[in-house]
Structure 1
Amino acid sequence: MRCELFDLHRQIVPLVDSWGWQKSIVERRKPLVGIDTDTDEDHSDTLITLQHPPVYTLGNGNSEKYLNFNIEDSPIEIHRIDRGGEVTYHGPGQLVLYPILNLRYQKKDLNWYQRSLETVIIRALQSAFSIKASTIEGLTGVWVGDQKVAAIGIMCARWIVYHGLALNVTTDLTPFEHIVPCGIKGRGVGSIKQILQKASNGREHNDSELMDIAYESLIKEFAEFFQLSLERSPDLYL
């Protein structure tokens, strides 16, 4: 299946812009979705890759008890959005992937899709950085030891899924201290850069190189897992 790739992984894109792009793509694709794959005219998926400026996002039905501050006096921008999950942080140095996939061509199972995104991240970390990551039963996301390095939050309309995953590459982890990330208490948050520095006795790593390596590995594993043919588009036409 064809998948249009919008590569903005080196760019800092406001959350409201990317959210608007996703909603526009989903609305455009909805009328193409048939009852089954024989009548389905929605034959092209989309993948948007980018970074965000500092922002907290709260998912559907999110409880403000996971904020360690008054929501009216947030230290940084905060948005309620239409994904599942609790509060999380996005910021520069975090690689965000927004796949907009028609699961009728994959498997109509949202739990399977979330587990699949976790598998893609785990494979990418192993392949690119020799980092052994894993999942934790009952929790969503990808972990290295007791530290969460990637968060996942999705939404679905007519089996078209959107939102996606956020991988901490060189992210400043300080803003996570002001929230209970994803509502999970007693566990930490980590980044690829932090893990590599610890493993190499503090050796410095080039931030932009780490981001490029993480990006290339992640989209490669993504395309292979979901059997998609990535076609790079010059820019968003929305």
Structure 2
Amino acid sequence: MTFLATQCVVASIPAYPVCNHQPKPPGCLSQRIQSKSDRIPVVKTQQSSFPTSQESRRESECECFNLYKELVPYRQAWSWQKGIVKEKKALIERNEDCPDSLFVLQHPPVYTMGTGSSEKFLNFDLNDAPFDVHRTERGGEVTYHGPGQIVMYPIINLRNHKMDLHWYLRSLEEVIIRALSKTFSIKASRLEGLTGVWHGNQKLAAIGIRVSQWIAYHGLALNVTTDLTPFRWIVPCGLQNYQVGSIRGLLGEFESFDDSSRKQLPDPDDGQLLNIACKSLINEFSEVFQVGINYETISRLEFLESEPVKSLKEEVI
């Protein structure tokens, strides 16, 4: 059983490259995982009734690969996700414990399109695209990933939680809404009929999932310090008359407001802001999904079998 989210996904998986600009590969991946002294702790906050009871609190664990300080190539993240999904399916077939996994990272500039995306939402010629363009396995229309955007790829065994796709989407939104409110005093919300997180007319985060055999992957992306210019070259998620916003942009707008709670907020540089946002997102993910966070090293991923990325010629339309 496989489900595709129909809303736009910012955290998506590149299956078929449409236009291939080769970005510079990052440095040695083995150096990317933070040392134990620099790892992000799970900060406990007041218990919330969303989404599970206190009796089930912290009963399960979630392995976390925190790579947010690096720009992970899109194909690499795709390979890791597919490997983890394949591994979890094998565990389920053997009736073994199948815990959750979480990637936190950034991508180099890239556009992604869903399986049924229309090229009418591209404001450029595919033969002269400004960045890589990948047609993905997800549903939804075109979107953009880039530096300054925190991407979270949860690979969730919904059997451990609730086998309900609506609940799962709302839970991912809850993670972002809590982080924005508690950490940045940003009042974020949902818009009826749309998936994602908004502040007024500005979309701050996009969410989308694919579910296969009740294993959910893809995830969410939050604009923190992102350069929003590349969003102008597309119609993000195929939504007309909506803007794209970022935490950095909103904090700049708030500076002129006479709000004591916001005046008490620090004024971090971009690196600090990304660090603060990352910590908050991981903490709220832990709280909403009631899981303990176990940080893993890159060696855990080196043994995963990956599936080759198909070329556009191999795509069946």
- TM category, shorter: over 0.9
* The one of 210, 230, 253 aligned to 1:155: 210
Higher mean C-alpha displacement, 50-59 vs 65-74 = 65-74
Alignment partners' CA distance in 2, 1:111 and 1:73: 38
Larger radius of gyration: 2
2:72 maps to: 13
* Contact 1:197/1:204 (8 A) holds in 2: no
- 1:222 aligned to 280, 285, 289, which one? 285
CA distance in structure 1 between the partners assigned to 2:103 and 2:158 by the alignment: 17
Deviation at 1:7, TM superposition (A): 0.5
Aligned AA (2:114): G
- What is the alpha-carbon distance in structure 2 between the residues aligned to residue 80 and residue 119 of structure 1? 28
Aligned-pair distance for 1:222?
0.5
TM-score between the two structures when normalised by the length of structure 1: 0.94
Amino acid at match of 2:89: K
Aligned residue in 2 for 1:79: 134
Query: Hey, what's the Cα distance between the residues in 2 that align with 1:210 and 1:76?
Result: 25
Q: How far 1:215 moved relative to its partner? A: 0.6
Q: Following TM superposition, by how much is the alpha carbon of 1:128 offset from its aligned partner in structure 2, in angstroms?
A: 0.6
Deviation at 1:2, TM superposition (A): 1.3
What residue is the counterpart of 2:230 in the other structure?
A: 175
Q: CA deviation at 1:157?
A: 1.1
Q: TM-score, normalised by structure 2?
A: 0.71
Opposite residue 277 of structure 2, the aligned amino acid is A
2-side partners of 1:111 and 1:74: how far apart?
A: 35
* Structure 1 partner of 2:91: 32
Distance in 2 between the 1:204 and 1:217 partners?
Answer: 16
Alignment of 1:39-188 (within 5 A): 40-188=95-243
Aligned twin of 1:237? 301
* Alignment-mate amino acid for residue 213 of structure 1: I
Q: Which moved more, 1:107-116 or 1:201-210?
A: 201-210
2:108 counterpart SS class: coil
Q: Give, in angstroms, the shift of residue 28 of structure 1.
A: 1.3
Q: Does 1:4 align with 2:63?
A: yes
Distance 1:13 1:90 in 2: 11
In the aligned structure 2, how far is the partner of 1:115 from the partner of 1:205? 30
Q: Which has the higher contact order (CA 8 A, sep 6+)?
A: 2
Preserved CA contact (<8 Å) 2:189 2:198:
yes
**In the TM superposition, what is the alpha-carbon distance from 1:40 to its structure 2 partner?**
4.1
Offset of residue 86 of structure 1: 1.3
Q: CA deviation at 1:85?
A: 1.8
RMSD: 1.6
**Partner Cα separation in structure 1 for residue 120 and residue 234 of structure 2:** 9
Q: Deviations over 1:113-136 (max 9, x none)?
A: 111101110001001101000010
Kept after mapping to 2: 8 A contact 1:54/1:89 = yes
**Alignment partners' CA distance in 1, 2:86 and 2:282:** 24
**Aligned partner of residue 33 in structure 1, secondary structure:** helix
> Displacement of 1:78 after TM fit?
0.7
Describe the SS at the equivalent of 1:163.
strand
Where does structure 1 lack aligned partners over 5 or more consecutive residues?
Answer: none
Residue by residue, what CA displacement relative to the aligned partner does 1:196-237 show, whole Å, maximum 9, x if unpaired? 011014996400111011111111110111111110012242
What amino acid does structure 1 have at the position aligned with 2:233? H
SS at match of 1:125: helix
Task: Write the distance in 2 (CA, Å) between the matches of 1:71 and 1:134.
Answer: 34
State the identity %: 56
Q: What is the alpha-carbon distance in structure 1 between the residues aligned to residue 127 and residue 95 of structure 2?
A: 45
Q: Deviations over 1:147-193 (max 9, x none)?
A: 00001121111100111000000000000001111111100000000
Unaligned runs of 5+ in 2: 1-59, 258-265, 303-317
